[in-house]
Structure 1
């Protein structure tokens, strides 16, 4: 049995024409330190709760943001990491932008059974409708993004 979920209301300035209306959008940036991962999770949780996003989706979004922030902190020389949350149509889009070097392809690693790390992007692949990587602003760094469904499957 499918559960019905109330729609996330459009703010007054977003109502009206256009093929896709942005219902909600929020940006934040944090220093690229290990402590930023937990802070990013908390900011995402607080923002999504204030928008009325269901708890399960909020927890999934925290997992995605945690993975993306961790990779940016560990694998780039970034000073700042930026995050954008956007609710459009039936999707929550999460974008995390680092200041790293080139926009090399990001591929989930095949972790061995006894590896402690290396499963994060596999988890993202499992929970996201789709995800990917694109060059950052002025081709600097990269933006790793994921889209999560707002509808119950």
Structure 2
């Protein structure tokens, strides 16, 4: 499967379109992957500003294994950090915690003029399927 590459301006209006495009690319429900792309794109908007150019790339392993999501922006020194747990009444501060809960792993690659935040999900989770008895990625809502 060829990678999906989207070049766009990070705006709140773009978030649902990107989620829909990712789902269409995979051809199956992919709630965890859609959650990750929403959170990473929203982080760009919140911390760098509305209208920042980004590149979103989704790559699925040929064997149906891991799916990798990358969001690249032009701010190499503005790295995401999980600092603390968000208070129950706070409306922000859960994005990286959610990402950490559903992804196998995630990280940040810094270049001279860009930063790429990436995550990898198991193929069956990215495609909306969980192995029987698997609780990976399940979140308890309090």
Aligned residues: 123
Matched position secondary structure for 1:40: helix
* Aligned residue in 1 for 2:37: 65
The equivalent position to 1:76 in structure 2, one of 40, 48, 55, is 48
Aligned 8 A contact 1:93 1:145 in 2: yes
The answer on whether the counterparts of 2:44 and 2:52 sit within 8 Å (CA) in structure 1 is: no
**TM-score, normalization: structure 2?**
0.77
Gaps of 5+ in 2: 125-130, 135-142
On the 8 A contact 1:81/1:96 being kept in 2, the answer is yes
CA distance in 1, matches of 2:14, 2:80: 24
**Max Rg structure:** 1
In the TM superposition, what are the counterparts of 1:95-114 in structure 2 within 5 Å? 95-107=70-82, 109-114=84-89
1:149 is matched with which residue?
A: 122
In the other structure, the counterpart of 2:10 is: 32
Per-residue CA deviation, residues 25-83 of structure 1 (Å, 9 max, x unaligned), is: 1101111222121221111111111xxxx42xx11110000000000111115631110
Give TM-score scaled by structure 1 length. 0.72
Offset, 1:109: 4.0
Instruction: Note the aligned Cα RMSD (angstroms).
Output: 1.9
Structure number with the bigger relative contact order (C-alpha 8 A, sep ≥ 6) is: 2
Q: Residue 107 and residue 38 in structure 1: after superposition, are their counterparts in 2 closer, same or farther (change >3 A)?
A: same
Distance 1:25 1:47 in 2: 9
Distance 1:145 1:101, change over 3 A: closer
Q: Secondary structure at the match of 1:24?
A: coil
Gaps of 5+ in 1: 1-22
